[in-house]
Structures are given as structure tokens and as C-alpha cells.
Amino acid sequence: MKAYLLTLIANPDLEEALVDWLLRYEARYGFTSSRVDGHSSRLEGLSLAEQVAGRRRLVRFQMCVDEQELAFLLERLKLDFANSGIQYWVAPVIASGLVE
């Protein structure tokens, strides 16, 4: 079975809503979250403080899922968070496991 790494990048004000959403729909595999800084030459949507600092605070979620779960999550994400500005990308997972 093929596995994929789904990454979501969102504004921090969506963090709790996304945690609740992922706990509802992604409980089978689990996920990780972290606060990250986004960097871009595009300034639209950035506060003056973010423009001066040269970065924007964001939150990242990552989860390893199978093909069926991936399709389901992306479909639900687009419905439940329409126009939210959440960015996502998908990468194939070559290997995964648990070190014991």
C-alpha cells in the first residue's frame, strides 16, 4: 500500500480548529504539529511587524496516510476550510516505521 506525507500550512488562528478537525478525521494515523516561520517576497496580507521581521508565523501539520485517506482528507479539507488560505502539499513516503 502506498503512503503519502500530507503537509498543511495555516495561519495560527486556525490551529485549534485544525487540531479538532484532524482529531475527528485523522485519528487512525495521528499527526504532528509545529509552529514555523514563513518567508516570502510577497507582502500582501502581512502586517507591518511581519514585513519588518521578514517572516510570518504559521503552523504546520504533517501526517502519513494511505491513498484512500489522502483523497478523503483533501476533499473534506476543501469543504470544511474553503477560502481559509491553508496551503498543502503531498509527497510520497519511501519508507516509514518505528525504531524499537
What residues of the chain score a pLDDT lower than 70? 27, 39-55
Note the Cα 34 to chain centre separation in Å. Answer: 10
DSSP class of residue 29?
Answer: T
Q: What is the pLDDT of residue 22?
A: 95
What is the rounded CA–CA span in Å between residue 9 and residue 15? 10
Q: What is the pLDDT of residue 12?
A: 93
Q: Is residue 55 part of a domain?
A: no
Asked whether 60 and 8 are in contact (CB, 8 A), the reply is: yes
**Domain tally for the chain?**
1
**Structural domain boundaries enclosing 75:** 3-31+60-92
Q: What is the pLDDT of residue 56?
A: 77
**φ/ψ (deg, to 5) at 81:** -125, 35
Q: What is the pLDDT of residue 27?
A: 67
Environment class of residue 84 by beta-carbon count within 10 Å: exposed (0-12), middle (13-18) or buried (19+)? middle
Q: Is residue 73 part of a domain?
A: yes
Give the tens place of pLDDT for each residue, 47-61: 555 555 566 789 999
Q: Is residue 54 part of a domain?
A: no
What is the rounded CA–CA span in Å between residue 93 and residue 80? 26
